[in-house]
């Protein structure tokens, strides 16, 4: 029972380098999300997707890009990493959302990124 899997789990980058975080879910969920978590800041939504081929901006999208070419995968890219992007990144997925049945969000274990 894999659920939501994030790779890599740890990464150290130098300022200006690029990288991609991969999120894969095996629950056939329509909705997928990328959050970042910083001390005292809770979880902040970066981007999300409501289905294959769709993406939308969240609260803090600047400096990130995403793609959802396949339903099971949601990629988060950093084109030019900055120290301010040092954080723990969480991917999550859930079944189709309605106002009365928002559904459970299933999270991955997180990816810890350090930008020097």
Partner 1 sequence: TQLLEQSPQFLSIQEGENLTVYCNSSSVFSSLQWYRQEPGEGPVLLVTVVTGGEVKKLKRLTFQFGDARKDSSLHITAAQPGDTGLYLCAGGSQGNLIFGKGTKLSVKP
Residue 60 lies near partner 1 (rule: CB under 8 A): no
Residue 62 lies near partner 1 (rule: CB under 8 A): no
What count of other Cβ atoms lies within 10 Å of the Cβ of residue 61? 16
Distance in angstroms (rounded) separating the CA atoms of residues 38 and 16: 21
How many of the chain's residues bind partner 1 (CB under 8 A)? Answer: 28
> Residue 18: which of 60, 64, 61 has the closest Cα?
64
Which of residues 7, 16, 59, 77 is near partner 1 by CB under 8 A? 59
Residue 74 lies near partner 1 (rule: CB under 8 A): no
Distance in angstroms (rounded) separating the CA atoms of residues 26 and 36: 22
Residues that bind partner 1 (CB under 8 A): 4, 31, 33, 35, 40-45, 48, 50, 56, 58-59, 90, 92, 97, 99-102, 104-105, 107-110
């Amino acid at each position: 029972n894999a659920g939501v899997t994030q790779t890599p789990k740890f990464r150290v980058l130098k300022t200006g380098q690029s990288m991609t975080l991969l999120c894969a879910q095996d629950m056939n969920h329509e909705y997928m999300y990328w959050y970042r978590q910083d001390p005292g800041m809770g979880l902040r939504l970066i981007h999300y997707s409501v289905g294959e081929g769709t993406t939308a901006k969240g609260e803090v999208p600047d400096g990130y890009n995403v793609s959802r070419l396949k339903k099971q995968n949601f990629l988060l890219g950093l084109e030019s990493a900055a120290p301010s992007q040092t954080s723990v990144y969480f991917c999550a997925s859930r079944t189709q959302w309605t106002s009365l049945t928002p559904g459970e969000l299933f999270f991955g274990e997180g990816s810890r990124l350090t930008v020097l």
